[in-house]
């Protein structure tokens, strides 16, 4: 028998896992398990590594095995609940998370995980309560602040929610807002003797949603500039000259203060009752619109109703597994007579257009869309847009175009709860999942609404 220094090997594997060398840790842990298959710590860590490598089912099997060995370790339960949540087993997730809390009542991370699971189960008060308990134990636990922020915001308690939302940049591993600076974060006080640098943070949808505050900012700080991704220039130049938009940090002008675009609602004091909604606040270039209308008319000339569709968001988005659907889910719409589906989908999920064989014609116009200017002009040529929660939904809504946004049971906080409209966008109609991660009934309702004649009147595509 070859002597195996398991404790040492395990320590090395754990170090590799912490250092991000997942393949190395995976190999080592599997070697240990080959010799000692019933070692719970190894099973647990091996499960974590498998989870991080995307092998979710294997991860779950290993972690369940670790727990089944009869060792009541809170850490195992705290971690397995996240695996359950990812695999959409929310009942198992909440049971495991509660057991973890019971085993380690003083561990704020257990409560944080439970708060996140409650949010996903749309148990918002419970989520706020758990996050609050975690913060009582560990007041600087940024993740718990953020969990509480999302729960407060979706509940409509924006006064507290915006404050908690400021913790988002302090979460471990979260992208920093900007390079380290000694300049202060803007507090909303007007000044005219320097530059206010706005940072177009978060996703493109957030930028489209919060750029509405730029005129409000310019009234207070006329010398504002914006640091943004290049893709956002077609949107932001509708508010300020292009020479005030910067896509590289080193090009940004010296500034007196800074603010994230997504922090402006807090500074503005936005509440559900007083949302700044000057819709339409984005407009398409009319010259381009004529060209796109002609292109679309040629590709789908005889379809009385042209419906733009987007079925998936950016795959790297943390919430993507909840918010994205598949093109095949649009089947109830595709079965309707008299419509053409116009795909505005970009990115890897756009490949699904090649696999579509539904009844309604599908025009994959997304393949010709180069930027948000193109998207905006295209939106003016469509009768309706039906999309999951993506930037295209925000864009159409900001332009005041008819748009139906399809949401998960536990959507992003901005869509609130139990309503089919949005204070942010008057033209939006929301369709919510009734069963967790089940799209079928959502699309059935969308199809029924289309049959009833929803979605706005026809547009002339001259």
Partner 1 sequence: MSQPAIQMCPCASGLRAVRCCGMNPAAMPPPDSSRHLMPLVERAVAAHRQGAIELAEKLCLDVLELAPDRPGALTVLYQIRKDQGNHTAAEALIRRVVALDPNNFAATNECALLLLSKGAIQEAELQARNAIRIAPQNPQSHNLMGMILTEAQRPQTGEYHYRKVLELSGARDPILLANLAWNLKNQGRMDEGRTLYQESAAAAPGIRQTLLGWARLEEADRKFAAAAGILDRMEQQWPDDPALLLSRAVLLGRMKRYDEALAVLDELAKLASDGRLGPHELAEKGRLLDQMGRYDDAFAAFGEGKRLSRDIGGQHYQDEIAGHLLGRLKGFFTAGRLNTLPRANVRTGVPQPVFVLGFPRSGTTLMEQTLSAHPRIVAGDELPLIDDLTGLMPRMLNSPLGYPEALAELWMGDQRDGLDNLRDYYLQKVAQMSILTQGAAWFTDKMPLNETHMGLIALLFPDAPLIHVIRHPLDIMVSAMSNHFTHGFFCASTLETAAKHYVRVMDLVQAYRSEMALRYLPVRYEDMVTNQEATVRTVLGFIGAPFDPGCLNFHENQRYARTASYAQVTEPLYDRSRFRYRHYRKHLEPVIPVLRSHIERLGYTVE
Instruction: Count other Cβ atoms within 10 Å, centred on residue 31.
Output: 15
CB of 106 to partner 1, least distance (A): 52
Q: Give yes or no for residue 336 binding partner 1 (CB under 8 A).
A: no
Cβ closest to partner 1, residue 184 vs residue 338: 338
Interface map 100-119 toward partner 1 (x if CB under 8 A): --------------------
- Cα–Cα distance measured from residue 144 to residue 164, given in angstroms and rounded to the nearest whole number: 9
Query: Which of the stretches 11-19, 41-49, 354-362, 439-447 binds partner 1 when contact is defined by CB under 8 A?
Result: 354-362
Please, what is the end-to-end C-alpha distance for the chain in angstroms? 83
Write the burial class of residue 261 (CB in 10 Å: 0-12 exposed, 13-18 middle, 19+ buried): buried
Alpha-carbon distances, residue 171 vs 39, 236, 328 (angstroms): 33, 28, 36
Query: Which of the stretches 140-148, 223-231, 264-272, 358-366 binds partner 1 when contact is defined by CB under 8 A?
Result: 358-366
CB of 155 to partner 1, least distance (A): 41
Q: Give yes or no for residue 298 binding partner 1 (CB under 8 A).
A: yes
- Cα–Cα distance measured from residue 171 to residue 168, given in angstroms and rounded to the nearest whole number: 6
Quote the crossing angle between the two packed helices 56-68 and 74-86, to the nearest 10°.
150
Sole binder of partner 1 in the list 59, 81, 208, 353 (CB under 8 A)? 353
Q: Give yes or no for residue 368 binding partner 1 (CB under 8 A).
A: yes
Q: Give yes or no for residue 175 binding partner 1 (CB under 8 A).
A: no
**Size, binding site for partner 1 by CB under 8 A:** 25
Cβ closest to partner 1, residue 248 vs residue 370: 370
Of 148, 74, 158, nearest to 118 by C-alpha is 148
For 247-345, list the strands marked E by DSSP.
257-260, 305-310, 339-343
Judged by CB under 8 A, the chain residues 204 through 243 that form the site for partner 1 are none
Of 368, 335, 332, nearest to 350 by C-alpha is 368
Alpha-carbon distances, residue 187 vs 220, 227, 268, 293, 427 (angstroms): 11, 18, 10, 44, 32
Q: Give yes or no for residue 356 binding partner 1 (CB under 8 A).
A: yes
Sole binder of partner 1 in the list 350, 379, 405, 408 (CB under 8 A)? 350
Q: Give yes or no for residue 302 binding partner 1 (CB under 8 A).
A: yes
CB of 127 to partner 1, least distance (A): 40
Q: Give yes or no for residue 390 binding partner 1 (CB under 8 A).
A: no
Q: Give yes or no for residue 301 binding partner 1 (CB under 8 A).
A: yes
Q: Give yes or no for residue 91 binding partner 1 (CB under 8 A).
A: no
Q: Give yes or no for residue 462 binding partner 1 (CB under 8 A).
A: no
Q: Give yes or no for residue 361 binding partner 1 (CB under 8 A).
A: yes
- Cα–Cα distance measured from residue 112 to residue 30, given in angstroms and rounded to the nearest whole number: 30
- Cα–Cα distance measured from residue 114 to residue 281, given in angstroms and rounded to the nearest whole number: 39
Q: Give yes or no for residue 347 binding partner 1 (CB under 8 A).
A: no
Residues of the shown chain interacting with partner 1 in the complex, contacts defined by CB under 8 A = 295, 298-302, 337, 350-351, 353-359, 361-368, 370
């Amino acid at each position: 028998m070859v002597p195996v220094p398991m404790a040492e090997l395990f320590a090395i594997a754990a170090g590799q896992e912490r250092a991000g060398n997942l393949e190395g840790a995976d190999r080592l842990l599997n070697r240990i398990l080959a010799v000692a298959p019933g070692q719970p710590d190894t099973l647990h860590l091996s499960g974590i590594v498998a989870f991080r490598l995307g092998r979710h089912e294997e991860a779950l099997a290993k972690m369940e095995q670790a727990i089944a060995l009869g060792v009541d370790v809170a850490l195992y339960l705290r971690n397995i609940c996240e695996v359950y949540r990812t695999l959409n087993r929310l009942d198992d997730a909440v049971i495991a998370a509660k057991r973890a809390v019971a085993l380690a009542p003083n561990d704020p991370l257990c409560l944080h995980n439970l708060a996140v699971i409650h949010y996903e189960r749309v148990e918002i008060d419970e989520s706020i309560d758990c996050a609050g308990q975690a913060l009582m134990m560990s007041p600087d636990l940024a993740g718990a602040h953020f969990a509480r922020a999302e729960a407060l915001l979706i509940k409509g308690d924006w006064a507290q929610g915006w404050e908690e939302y400021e913790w988002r940049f302090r979460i471990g591993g979260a992208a920093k807002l900007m390079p380290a600076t000694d300049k202060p974060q803007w507090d909303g006080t007007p000044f005219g003797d320097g530059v206010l640098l706005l940072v177009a943070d978060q996703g493109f949808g957030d930028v489209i949603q919060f750029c509405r505050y730029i005129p409000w900012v310019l009234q207070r700080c006329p010398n504002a500039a914006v640091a943004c991704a290049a893709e956002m220039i077609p949107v932001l130049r509708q508010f300020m000259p292009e020479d005030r938009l910067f896509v590289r940090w080193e090009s940004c002008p010296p500034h007196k203060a800074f603010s994230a675009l997504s922090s402006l609602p807090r500074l503005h004091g936005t509440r559900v009752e007083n949302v700044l909604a000057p819709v339409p606040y984005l407009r398409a270039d009319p010259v381009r619109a004529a060209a796109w209308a002609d292109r679309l008319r040629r590709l789908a000339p005889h379809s009385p109703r042209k419906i733009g569709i987007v079925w998936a968001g950016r795959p790297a988005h943390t919430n993507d597994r909840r918010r994205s659907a598949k093109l095949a889910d649009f089947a109830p719409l595709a079965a309707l007579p008299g419509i053409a589906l116009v795909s505005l989908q970009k990115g890897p999920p756009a490949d699904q257009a090649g696999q579509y064989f539904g009844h309604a014609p599908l025009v994959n116009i997304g393949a010709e869309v180069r930027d948000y200017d193109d998207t905006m002009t295209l939106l003016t040529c469509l009768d309706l847009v039906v999309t999951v929660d993506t930037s295209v939904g925000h864009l159409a809504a900001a332009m005041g175009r008819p748009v139906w946004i399809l949401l998960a049971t536990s959507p992003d906080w901005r869509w609130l709860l139990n309503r089919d409209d949005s204070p942010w966008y008057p033209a939006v109609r929301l369709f919510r999942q009734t069963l967790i991660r089940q799209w079928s009934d959502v699309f059935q309702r969308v199809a029924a609404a289309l049959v009833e004649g929803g979605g706005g009147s026809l547009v002339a595509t001259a």
